[in-house]
Amino acid sequence: MKNPLLLVLISIVLLPLAVRPAIASEIWIFAIFGLGLNLLLGYTGLLSFGQGTFFGSAAYVAGWLLKYYGINVFLALGVGMGVGALSALAVGYLCVQRSGLYFIMLTFALNQLFYFVAYQWTSVTGGEDGMPGVPRPAMLGIDFSSPLVYYAFVSAIFLLSLLLMKRIVESPLGKILVAIRENEVRAGAVGFHVPRFKLLAFVIGGAFSGLAGVLYAMLFGIVPLESISFVTSGNVVFATLIGGSGSLYGPIIGSVVFIWLSESMSNVWARWPLLLGVAFVIVVLFFRGGVVEAWDRLFSRRKISPSRSAH
């Protein structure tokens, strides 16, 4: 894996040959979601169990605007990022005041709060039935309703997201977040207002989640209630850990594994989550750094890169 970016590009081209375009799209959408989570989980050391809040909120708001106001696709993405960032600002503000288990429980509890609002507010969200009829309006002569065109669009947005996240983790902010993960007290003592930096990570992660949420709603033409539930929050944590939370590319690999497995196995074998369970146990027991670390250990025998730590 000398050049991971090149590998990502090749995968984008080859993936539609292996799976249906809708699934291929879902993989990169979930990868964007994972990139956002990993800024919190891998870089800042914050296990957020409530990323579904931002994913779902953005999907509902942008989905509503697409459906009833016919806004264009790019505006929808912008709205999604905004809603994701704003909801993350609100949730993050409350959560960064606490640490450890209390932090995790707060992200989870607030996720439940959003979930029940969506569940009860049936006139807008459709409750348990979800919000159907989210369109992918054509724009500039591009017909997004074609699955392959939409796949190309999702891939482009995913690549941009990846480059943006790469830029962020290589910026001073990336180093500061790792410093906070490594030693919160010292990070404060050298002069960083730690809660504010955690909040910033939350907001950026929220914007990525929101972006993924809107793309997801447009992909399936519906915002299912599940998109704002803790299951979604759990899945992204799960996928990221399987891929490897210690590296930028971990969540991408995790997304490929997770979506591929869940989509291909769910039709064949109803108890496919067992496989995920086994994969998770193997990761936790032997490869804390996920697939990325397993690859490093088995093939290149490189030392774990300095940006990674033993959690």
Partner 1 sequence: MGQALLQTQNLTKSFGALTAVNDVTLSIAEGSLHSIIGPNGAGKTTLFNLLTGTFPPTSGRIVFDQKEITGTPAHRVAHLGLARSYQRTTVFPALSLLDNAWVAAFATGKSWDGLLFKKSSSYPEIQERSLHALRDVGLESKANQPAREISHGEQRQLELALALAAAPRVLLLDEPAAGLSPEETRRMVALVRALKGRYTIVLIEHKIDIIMSVSDRISVMHFGSLIAEGTPGEIQRNPEVRRAYLGGVAA
Kindly tell me which of 192 and 260 has the beta carbon lying closer to partner 1.
192
Which segment (28-36, 103-111, 173-181, 289-297) binds partner 1 by CB under 8 A?
173-181
Kindly tell me which of 189 and 284 has the beta carbon lying closer to partner 1.
189
Please name the residues in contact with 108: beta carbons below 8 A apart, sequence gap of 6 or more.
Answer: 49, 50, 230, 233
Kindly tell me which of 143 and 170 has the beta carbon lying closer to partner 1.
170
Please name the residues in contact with 269: beta carbons below 8 A apart, sequence gap of 6 or more.
Answer: none
Kindly tell me which of 18 and 160 has the beta carbon lying closer to partner 1.
160
Mask 141-170, x = binds partner 1 (CB under 8 A)? --------------------------xx-x
Kindly tell me which of 200 and 222 has the beta carbon lying closer to partner 1.
200
Q: Is 193 in the site for partner 1 (CB under 8 A)?
A: yes
269-308 residues in contact with partner 1 (CB under 8 A) are 306-308
Min dist CB 220 to partner 1, Å, is 32
Q: Is 264 in the site for partner 1 (CB under 8 A)?
A: no
Q: Is 171 in the site for partner 1 (CB under 8 A)?
A: yes
Kindly tell me which of 11 and 309 has the beta carbon lying closer to partner 1.
309
Which residue from 176, 217, 219, 252 is in contact with partner 1, where contact means CB under 8 A? 176
Q: Is 97 in the site for partner 1 (CB under 8 A)?
A: no
Q: Is 85 in the site for partner 1 (CB under 8 A)?
A: no
Which positions lie near partner 1, rule CB under 8 A? 167-168, 170-176, 178-179, 181-183, 185-194, 204, 306-309
